[in-house]
Amino acid sequence: MKLTGKCLLLLACMISVCSYAQQEEHHIPTENKDKSCEGSCCCDGNSQAPLGVMTDHIHDKGTWMLSYSYMNTRMKGNRIGAKQASDAMVYQNYMMSPETMNMTMHMAMLMYGVTDRLTLMAMGGYMTNSMNMNMDTAGGMMFMNGQWMSMPGYTNPGMQTSTSGFTDTKLSALYNFSNKANQRIIGSLGISLPTGSINATGTTLLGDNQRVPYDMQISTGSYSLAPGITYVRKKGLWYFGADAGADLKLNFNSLGYRVGNSYHASTWAGYQLLPWVSATLRAEGVHTARISGSDSVIAIPVYQTSDPTTKTSNYGGDVVNLYLGFNFHIMKPVLDKFRILAEYGMPVYQNLNGTQMALKSNLYLGVQYSF
C-alpha cells in the first residue's frame, strides 16, 4: 500500500517534470544554452553535489571523466548499542577492546558518456586498514600457549594490526530521466565484483600472519548490486539534491558468510560563494544489516571470548552523519577541465549492533579531470 503510493507519486513527479521540460524547451534563453550545459546540466560552475555522492552527474555523449579520490574513515572508542562504552565495559565480555581504527582508500574512477543521457562508470582502488587494541591490563592478563593466564603486575602493551590490498571493482550505469536544464533525475545501477581479498592476514591473538576479522578484510567476497536514485536541482546560486540507494549482497562468499546489506539516503544543499568555489552541507543516514554465516577460522572460541570484532553479531547498525564540503572549479582555459572536491563528516547519531567501534570521521578528497 505504502509502496504503491510512493511509486504513484514518483510517476506523477516524472510525468510533470517531462511535460514541464517540453514546455520549457522553447523558452531557454540563448545564454543558458552553451554546450557545457547540454544533456548534463547543473554542472556549470561549482554546482555539483558533494564528493560523497558519486551518482549525481552524467557526461555528454563521447566525453570522459577520470578522477582520483582519497577517502579516510576513522573510528575511535566503542559503543554498545547507542551508548558509549569504556574499555572497562567492553572487558566485562571480552579480554580486548578496540581503541582506534583507520581505513584509507585511494580510488580511481572513469566515466564515459555513451549518450547524452546514459553514462557508464568504473571504479576500483587500493585500501589500507590499521587497528589498535587495548588488553585487559587491570587483570594482568597475558595470552600464552593458546589461553589467557593471569600474571599479576604484568601490563599488556596491546596489539596493532594492519592489512592492505586492491579493492572490489564496481561498474555502474547512470541514466538521466530529466529533460530540464536546471535539474537531473538520475537512476543508477551498479554491480560490484569481489576482486578484493577476504583472506588478508595480520596480527591476532594467535600471532602474526593470521587471518584477520571481517572489518579488517579488504572485500566482502560477495557480488553486490547497487541500485540508486539521485535528484539534483539548481536555483540561482543555490543547488539542492537528495539520493537514496542500497548495496545488496547477492551471495555467500567462498568462506561461508555474507556481509549485511546496506541502505543509505542523503540530502544536501550547496551555495556558490564565489565564481570558483561553493560550499555544501549534507545529512546522510546509513543502515547496515548484520553478517550472516561466519568465517570458520574467525569463529573459534578463543577469538569469540577475546575480541569483539570476531563476532558477527557485533556488525551493522544505524548511523547519521553530517558533512561540510567545498567544490572548486575555475572557469579558465585548461583549469576548467579540473574540479577539486573535499568533504568532511562526523556522526551525529549512531546505534550499533552489539559491541562495536564507534565512527569518528569521514574525509573525502578528490580531483576530477574531464576530457
CA distance 39 to 53: 20
In the complex with Cu ion, the residue whose CB is nearer, 322 or 330, is: 330
Output the furthest CA–CA distance in the chain (Å, rounded). 84
CA angle 174, 175, 179 (to 5 degrees): 145
- Closest CA relative to residue 236, chosen from 57, 42, 51: 42
- Nearest to Cu ion of 111, 357 (CB atom): 111
Asked if 53 interacts with Cu ion (CB under 5 A), we say no
Q: Are 171 and 121 in contact (CB under 8 A)?
A: yes
- Residue 175: strand pairing partners: 118, 187
Q: Does 51 bind Cu ion (CB under 5 A)?
A: no
Shortest Å, Cβ 57 to Cu ion: 5
Comparison of 24 and 38: residue with beta carbon closer to Cu ion:
38
Which one-letter DSSP state was computed for residue 252? -
User: Taking contact as CB under 5 A, which single stretch among the options 31-39, 107-115, 310-318, 337-345 is the one that binds Cu ion?
Assistant: 107-115
Would you say 101 and 128 are in contact if contact means Cβ atoms under 8 Å apart?
no
SS3 257: strand
**Beta carbon nearer to Cu ion, 111 or 319:** 111
Residue 123 is a binding residue for Cu ion (CB under 5 A): no
Burial class of residue 357, CB neighbours in 10 A (0-12, 13-18, 19+): buried
Smallest distance from Cu ion to CB 332, Å: 20
- Nearest-CB residue to Cu ion? 65
341 contacts Cu ion (rule: CB under 5 A): no
Q: How far is CA 237 from the centre of its chain?
A: 28
β partners of residue 358: none
- From 105-113, 171-179, 203-211, 275-283, give the range in contact with Cu ion by CB under 5 A: 105-113
111 binds Cu ion (CB under 5 A): yes
Residue 59-98 contact track with Cu ion, rule CB under 5 A, x = bound: ------x---------------------------------
Q: How many residues at the interface with Cu ion, by CB under 5 A?
A: 2
The b/e string for 163-180 (b: 16+ C-beta within 10 A; e otherwise) is bebebbbbebebebebbb
Q: Which of residues 264-323 bind Cu ion (CB under 5 A)?
A: none
Build a one-symbol-per-residue string for 342-371: x at contacts with Cu ion by CB under 5 A, - elsewhere: ------------------------------
* 186 touches Cu ion (CB under 5 A): no
- The binding site for Cu ion (CB under 5 A) comprises 65, 111
